[in-house]
Amino acid sequence: MQAFVLTRYGGPEATQLREVPKPRPARGEVLVRVHAAGLNPVDFKTRDGKLKLIQGYSLPAIMGNELAGVVEDCGEGATRFAKGDRVFARMLKAAMGAFAEYAVVPEDLLAAMPASLDFETAAGVPLAGLTALQALRDELNVRKGSRIFIPGGAGGVGTFAIQLAKQLGVEVTTTASPRGRVLVERLGADVVIDYTTQKFEDHVRDMDGVFDLLGGETLKKSFSVVKRGGKVVSVAGMPEPQTARKDLGRGTGLAALFWLASFSLRAEARKHGVSYRYLFMHPSGRELAELGQLIDQKKLDPIIDRVFPFAGIAEAFAYLEAGRAKGKVVVRMPATDA
């Protein structure tokens, strides 16, 4: 079968479309005929070796972290799905493998695809959708009436986060360029700040929380817009000790490293009387089914920016990496290329 393989850590030339053996489902796993797969910034960060310390893949490895497709076969003990079922998933973090004609997925990570979606739209849901859900509900603990700032609302995660926050009764302030304004307003953002002409820190204050999608200077400044006792949760900044223990299940060594790396951010948080948390999302078939339900109920609308043919996956990477995507970027697999 055709697969997009990472041969070594490096730039785009470290990846290749090549023939590899079709995988077989082990115990508890399901073999999926992939129809479409979503791209995420984690793909090019992985390719560049930026996450080597925590990922530890043995190369060559098939890339790709989310998919939508049809069940082809079930391994021993995998009983929740049957051949022919339409499914979607965020892949096992230790394995990746979605950028291929076939992929194996532990059955617990799979959910039935929303009946209302095509494969390309479904493939863009799992990683960004779960990230937004877990950050807002489990880490920021938002409730009806919360006021949340989401810098960078027009991208893959932001377009889910705005909609889910509105579903949860949250007042949403976000940043977007004029290119993204109409989209984030349509998704329900209450206040939109044009980051190309305005400094958000001059306009936003007394938030209950921040869901940071940008890191860097934006994250540093975001502590000042939260009221005392509030929370800043980032998926794009610097990991902190809890990231090592809670999200990665790792011990004191990595926690100490993250303690050092996040020192200045945590100091800034303390200065403003707020907490700082860096979240690594986790795959979950159960939570993905919840998102699927919201989609079928028309309460959540996955935004797909562009779909590329699998043969053009290098261009899809370049497009996403340019950082201007409005919603998700997806590749369509060869079987459905026609």
Ligand X SMILES: NC(=O)c1ccc[n+]([C@@H]2O[C@H](COP(=O)([O-])OP(=O)(O)OC[C@H]3O[C@@H](n4cnc5c(N)ncnc54)[C@H](OP(=O)(O)O)[C@@H]3O)[C@@H](O)[C@H]2O)c1
Name the site residues for ligand X (rule: CB under 6 A): 40-42, 127-128, 131, 151-152, 154-158, 175-177, 179-180, 195, 213-214, 235-236, 279-281, 320, 323-326
Q: How far is the CB of 24 from ligand X (least distance, A)?
A: 29
Of the two residues 69 and 155, which places its CB atom closer to ligand X in the complex? 155
With a CB cutoff of 8 Å and minimum separation 6, the contacts of 270 are none
Q: How far is the CB of 56 from ligand X (least distance, A)?
A: 17
**Could you tell me which residues are beta bridge partners of residue 32?**
71, 103
Q: How far is the CB of 216 from ligand X (least distance, A)?
A: 8
In the sheet that holds 15-19, the strands lie side by side as 15-19, 2-6, 61-62
Q: How far is the CB of 77 from ligand X (least distance, A)?
A: 29
Of the two residues 15 and 159, which places its CB atom closer to ligand X in the complex? 159
Q: How far is the CB of 294 from ligand X (least distance, A)?
A: 18
**Could you tell me which residues are beta bridge partners of residue 19?**
2
Contact in structure between 173 and 150 (CB atoms under 8 Å):
yes
Of the two residues 23 and 38, which places its CB atom closer to ligand X in the complex? 38
Label each residue of 281-294 as H, E or C: CCCCHHHHHHHHHH
Of the two residues 30 and 183, which places its CB atom closer to ligand X in the complex? 183
With a CB cutoff of 8 Å and minimum separation 6, the contacts of 148 are 136, 140, 142, 165, 170, 171, 172, 173, 207, 208, 209, 210, 211
- Please, where are the H alpha helices in the chain? 41-47, 52-55, 119-123, 126-133, 156-167, 178-186, 216-222, 241-242, 252-261, 263-272, 285-296, 313-321
Q: How far is the CB of 21 from ligand X (least distance, A)?
A: 30
Read off the amino acid at residue 139: E
In whole angstroms, give the CA distance from residue 239 to residue 227: 22
Of the two residues 77 and 216, which places its CB atom closer to ligand X in the complex? 216
Of the two residues 71 and 325, which places its CB atom closer to ligand X in the complex? 325
Q: How far is the CB of 165 from ligand X (least distance, A)?
A: 14
In whole angstroms, give the CA distance from residue 32 to residue 101: 8
Of the two residues 42 and 330, which places its CB atom closer to ligand X in the complex? 42
Q: How far is the CB of 323 from ligand X (least distance, A)?
A: 5
Collapsing DSSP to helix, strand or coil, 30 comes out as strand
Among all residues, whose Cβ is closest to ligand X? 155
Of the two residues 15 and 218, which places its CB atom closer to ligand X in the complex? 218
Phi, psi of 331 (to 5 degrees): -110, 145
